[in-house]
Amino acid sequence: MADIHETFPGFDGQPLALTCVGPGSDRNARPVILLHGLFSSAEVNWVKYGTAAQLAQAGFTCLMPDLRAHGASAAPHDADAYPADVLARDAQALVRYLGLDEFDLVGFSMGSRTAVRAVVAGLRPRRLVLGGMGLEGLAGWAGRRDFFREVIDRFGTIRPGDPMYMEQQFLKSSGTDRVAVRHLLGAMEDTPPSALAAITMPTLVLCADQDHDNGSADNLTAALPNAVRGTIPGTHMSCVTKPDLGAALVEFLTRDGV
């Protein structure tokens, strides 16, 4: 089970990194696209702690882009490279590049927001997982956007005990380009609850028991037409390091009758 690293063109041709992990050479065998969170990467969110390996052992081919301004993907400093819904447009470009007719889609935090925007715009995964996300995180992005902008603007001066300290340390460890990601923060659009009616495929809303970063996962579950709620241990940041995340994904994506 080897990792395959390649690049694909974003919606505007920007080179974006793609990591593939699967049980065989056919990346179209039970494909699942996994979208990571803010300041993270495919490696940190999905590979490092074994989530991709768990899915591959269950027969899935994991297709994991580094989102624009993250990881090994392009991080242009030109504001014009970050139009509204740029990440959703890149996700649609990935599906076209891979030539996928049927696939599952998994997001975590910013990746969940991206997945929702892509589905509302017309992407149709077989099943959808929204990790680390609540209703308020989709409909009230401005507050979180301003929080992360302040983390970037105060980078290097935030001390332990400050509510922004953990985010600063994660940003520091990831090496994410601060100029690029600040542009990206302004490209993310709100999704009002009324728009969630378009998300009709079976959906798992998966949130850690100590994670309240993006509002209420219960409210998001109730607002979706065909959703179930899942809970795993940890906080917003720690839950991706635990095997419970991969186990919950495998269970939902292989569940009969869904």
CATH value at residue 229: 3.40.50.1820
- 246: in domain: yes
- 258: in domain: no
Query: Within the chain, which residues score under 50 in pLDDT?
Result: none
- 77: in domain: yes
- 84: in domain: yes
- 8: in domain: yes
The structural domain count of the chain equals 1
**What is the structure's pLDDT at 258?**
57
Print the domain residue range for 177. 3-253
- Residue 63: strand pairing partners: 20, 33
- 208: in domain: yes
* 3-23 pLDDT per residue, tens: 789 999 999 999 999 999 998
- 19: in domain: yes
- 197: in domain: yes
Alpha-carbon gap, residue 229 to 244, rounded angstroms: 15
Alpha-carbon gap, residue 41 to 37, rounded angstroms: 7
Q: Is the model's pTM score more than 0.85? A: yes
**What is the structure's pLDDT at 23?**
85
DSSP type of residue 219: H
